[in-house]
Amino acid sequence: MADKDDTSKVPPDRNSDPTHASAETSPAAGERKFPNRSALTRLERAIEAQREQLLQAHGVLTCLYEVLLYAEGDDAINYAQAAHAAAKLVNKSVEDLDSVRIRPLIDEIVFKSGDRVEDSGRSYWR
């Protein structure tokens, strides 16, 4: 069985913390460091925590939908449809809070305040 090629790079997780990057992926010397990066990291963590809670709520609503869909009673189907609609709204919020979508918004705010944040992926692919 062949061993894994030691020279191959594994792309970083898109939600990984760039402060834990290895020397190989760290910015080159002379690039500007940003004092409010820790505030951005806290914001990203808070958003991700809310996303996780929304995903759990989506799971509960999906289970409720399935149970009500097959329940006895005149209004069970209506309640199932209401649970399904709520699950879809929660899922939309989860998608909107995804780091791929929210990161450009955060960067725009930082850029307007006069600081510039470098994309951690850019230094990786050099």
Q: Is residue 6 part of a domain?
A: no
Domain count, the chain: 1
In a domain, 98, yes or no: yes
- Whether 23 is in a domain gets the answer no
Q: State pLDDT tens for residues 13-47.
A: 555 544 444 444 444 434 444 556 787 788 889 99
pLDDT in the model for residue 53? 96
Residue 12 forms part of a structural domain = no
Domain presence at residue 75: yes
97 lies in a domain? yes
- Asked if residues 56 and 68 have their Cβ atoms less than 8 Å apart, the reply is no
> Mean pLDDT of all residues in the chain?
74
Residue 90 — pLDDT band, cuts 50, 70, 90?
Answer: very high
Q: What percent of the chain has pLDDT over 90?
A: 40
Residue 113 has pLDDT above 90, yes or no: no
The whole-number pLDDT of residue 15 equals 52
pTM of the model: 0.57
Which of 116, 105, 108, 91 lies closest to 37 in space, CA to CA?
A: 116
Domain span holding position 45:
34-116
Q: Answer whether residue 98 shows pLDDT above 60.
A: yes
CB 20 within 8 A of CB 59: no
Q: How many CA atoms lie within 13 A of 27 on its CB side?
A: 12
| Domain-embedded: residue 11 | no
Domain membership flag for residue 22: no
Residue 73 vs residue 61, higher pLDDT: 61
